């Protein structure tokens, strides 16, 4: 391959546009308390004449004389909220009513899964769209080249959800927040994409993944962006399964007829195809030499991969080890959800720099989460090394919104503001009889058992069975000949490892209040089959599908048990 050079146009334009926003973020982070007061005032001013603003006395709150009084009035007038508290207001907006949660109407809705089974509809205001998916998106893209100046020297593979899923009663679009993010990228960046955005409208996930990699594997990709590392695992599985078909398609300049891909999407892909026998032969030679062809072979000049690396995504990261170029930077995607793009990771750590000038944040200590009288902390009061649960207020109509996450405050400070990283969802802490088993403890225990036994898992998960006072652990072993007896011996190691790190779990197990875990072996490719089934039911954005590895979720518990070896 040709030697990479720093491309002038994207580097210069992003250096200017993103660099300006980066400096504003840096300035805002020097005095987070002052900036948080300004931001909360701006949000309340933005929404004071809305239905919600009038009901909750936003104008009166704004009369506060200083930051302490402002924060106190805000807490007095608004209780911490879940999404269901906002759903009646959102339903009015979807029907076409203006000035409900903020002035005017949403520009669009980001849809994501909800706790009740009904999707959450997250309104995106004009202000939020401009600030978060405009200004801060440019900062994100600028930061890529700041870390790797040749990030835009080749093509970009960016895996997102479907941007437009449909339209509300009043004609407002709704869809995937990741699709919206990609759509807000500057035009000169979109030209670097290895494939057209139309491919994310392919309903069949095997066909979608094939189409993504049909174009991706042919090109010299230098930047790869996807939220969930499980997506990269699935794409590599697709490469392994369909490698010969890729080579044939690349050689002939075609897109395989083996997959159900709508004619309009095939037509959108045509400009990306032309016969390329030289590349096809390169790939075939790699297969002959190495057996399995992984990203370090087909994308040897990849500069940067960004995915989630914190929380429960760690179980997929091990599957990526050794498969990417050694000198590539694998960057944390940042603390980011449909409800709130809270910040950016700006270096090679896993720590998110929050936006004190874009959102208003409050925090409860994690151990006080269930205490309705517990104190709320301001951004400037966070102590590195302590865990907190965040509540956010945004320019998009979410006020004191409970993110149901556990974050760790961390160093180094950005300005004088602590950074954060994701630990788990709040429901990633499961308790049957008071043991408070953390998802991270379960994951660590499984990983340690793998090292102790030499056995490898392709996927695993655990669910609480309250009725039986036990955990059901599901393991997909890489060795498909693993017996039930061997699986139970492996689980014994996991059980012992948890006992060593969680004294309450040990006490409950030793006293028989918590019964022996039930062990299930999963069929090959269980996660992908389970995921497709869940997504087909819920309509959730596949690129953001990140189920808890440990949970108390009866429906998903029953769904995964469909894929056990009987």
pLDDT tens-place string over residues 291-345: 999 999 999 999 999 999 987 677 678 889 899 999 999 999 999 988 999 999 9
CB 189 within 8 A of CB 248: no
Residue 352's DSSP bridge partners are: 345, 420
CB 423 within 8 A of CB 406: yes
Instruction: Check pLDDT > 90 for residue 495.
Output: yes
**Per-residue pLDDT, 98:** 97
Strands (E), 226-276: none
Query: Rg for the chain (alpha carbons), in Å?
Result: 24
Instruction: Check pLDDT > 70 for residue 1.
Output: no
Task: Give me the sign of the Cα torsion angle 351, 352, 353, 359.
Answer: negative
CA–CA distances in Å: residue 250 to residues 173, 241, 277, 282:
36, 16, 7, 11
How, if at all, do strands 329-332 and 166-167 pair? unpaired
pLDDT interval class at 566 (50, 70, 90): confident
Angle between helices 484-501 and 439-453 (to 10 degrees): 130
- Token output for 416: 């004088």
Task: Give me the sign of the Cα torsion angle 262, 545, 292, 274.
Answer: positive
Hey, is 351 helix, strand or coil?
A: coil
- For 461, the enclosing helix (H) or strand (E) is strand 457-465
Provide the percentage of residues in the chain whose pLDDT is more than 90: 71
Hey, is 441 helix, strand or coil?
A: helix
pLDDT digits 0-9 by tens, 23-77: 999 999 999 999 999 999 999 999 999 999 999 999 999 999 999 999 999 999 9
- 385 burial class (0-12, 13-18, 19+ CB within 10 angstroms)? exposed
Catalogue the long-range contacts made by 264-272 (C-beta closer than 8 Å, 24 or more residues apart).
Answer: 264/198, 265/198, 265/199, 265/201, 265/202, 265/211, 268/196, 268/198, 268/199, 269/195, 269/196, 269/198, 269/199, 269/211, 269/215, 271/196, 272/194, 272/195, 272/196, 272/215
* CA pair distance 127, 110, nearest whole angstrom: 15
In this prediction the pTM is 0.81
- 333 burial class (0-12, 13-18, 19+ CB within 10 angstroms)? buried
pLDDT digits 0-9 by tens, 362-374: 999 998 988 899 9
* CA pair distance 218, 220, nearest whole angstrom: 7
The predicted model gives 494-518 an average pLDDT of 88
- Token output for 10: 């994207």
Report the side by side order of strands in the sheet with 470-477.
Answer: 518-521, 470-477, 457-465, 550-551
Name the nearest CA neighbour of 94 among 171, 163, 165, 162.
Answer: 171
- Token output for 212: 């993504």
CB 406 within 8 A of CB 424: yes
The predicted model gives 524-553 an average pLDDT of 79
Backbone angles phi, psi at 341, to 5 degrees: -85, 95
**Range from 99-108, 241-250, 435-444 carrying the lowest mean pLDDT:** 435-444
């Amino acid at each position: 391959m040709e030697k990479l050079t720093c491309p002038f146009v994207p580097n210069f334009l992003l250096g200017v546009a993103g660099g300006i926003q980066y400096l504003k973020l840096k300035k805002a982070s020097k005095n987070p308390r002052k900036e948080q007061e300004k931001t909360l005032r701006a949000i309340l001013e933005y929404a004071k004449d809305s239905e919600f603003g009038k009901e909750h006395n936003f104008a009166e709150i704004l009369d506060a004389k200083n930051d302490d009084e402002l924060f106190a009035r805000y807490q007095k007038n608004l209780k911490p909220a879940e999404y269901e508290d906002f759903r009646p207001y959102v339903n009015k907006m979807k029907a076409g009513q203006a000035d409900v949660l903020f002035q005017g109407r949403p520009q669009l809705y980001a849809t994501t899964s909800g706790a009740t089974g009904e999707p959450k509809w997250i309104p995106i205001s004009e202000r939020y769209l401009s600030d978060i998916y405009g200004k801060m998106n440019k900062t994100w893209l600028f930061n890529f080249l700041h870390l790797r100046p040749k990030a835009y020297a080749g093509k970009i593979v960016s895996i997102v959800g479907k941007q437009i899923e449909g339209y509300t009663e009043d004609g407002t679009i709704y869809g995937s927040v990741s699709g919206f993010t990609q759509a807000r990228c500057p035009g000169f960046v979109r030209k670097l994409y290895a494939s057209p955005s139309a491919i994310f409208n392919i309903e069949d996930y095997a066909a979608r993944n094939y189409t993504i990699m049909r174009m991706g594997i042919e090109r010299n990709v230098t930047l790869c962006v996807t939220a969930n590392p499980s997506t990269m695992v699935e794409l590599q599985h697709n490469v392994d399964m369909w490698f010969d078909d890729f080579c044939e398609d690349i050689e002939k300049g075609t897109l395989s007829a083996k997959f159900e891909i709508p004619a309009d999407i095939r037509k959108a892909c045509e400009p990306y195809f032309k016969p390329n026998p030289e590349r096809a032969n390169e790939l075939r030679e790699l297969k002959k030499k190495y057996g399995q062809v992984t990203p370090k072979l087909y994308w040897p000049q990849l500069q940067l991969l960004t995915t989630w690396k914190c929380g429960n995504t760690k179980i997929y990261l091990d599957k990526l080890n050794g498969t990417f170029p050694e000198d590539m930077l694998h960057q944390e995607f940042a603390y980011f959800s449909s409800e709130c793009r809270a910040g950016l990771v700006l270096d090679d750590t896993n720590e998110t720099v929050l936006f004190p000038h874009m959102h208003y944040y409050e925090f409860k200590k994690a151990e006080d989460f269930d205490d309705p009288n517990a104190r709320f902390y301001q951004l400037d009061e966070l102590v590195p090394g302590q865990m907190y649960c965040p509540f956010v207020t945004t320019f998009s109509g979410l006020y004191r919104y409970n993110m149901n996450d556990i974050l760790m405050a961390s160093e180094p400070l950005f300005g004088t503001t602590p950074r954060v990283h994701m630990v788990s969802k709040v429901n990633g802490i499961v308790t049957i009889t008071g043991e408070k088993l953390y998802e991270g403890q379960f994951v660590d225990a499984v990983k340690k058992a793998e090292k102790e036994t030499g056995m490898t898992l392709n996927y695993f998960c655990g669910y609480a069975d309250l009725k039986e006072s036990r955990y059901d652990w599901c393991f997909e072993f890489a060795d498909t000949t693993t017996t039930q007896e061997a699986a139970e011996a492996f689980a014994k190691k996991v059980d012992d490892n948890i006992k060593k790190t969680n004294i309450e779990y040990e006490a409950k197990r030793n006293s028989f209040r918590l019964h022996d875990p039930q062990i299930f072996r999963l069929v090959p490719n269980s996660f992908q089959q389970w995921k497709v089934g869940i997504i087909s039911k819920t309509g959730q954005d596949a690129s953001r599908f990140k189920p808890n590895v440990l949970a108390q979720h009866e429906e998903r518990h029953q769904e995964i048990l469909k894929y056990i070896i009987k």
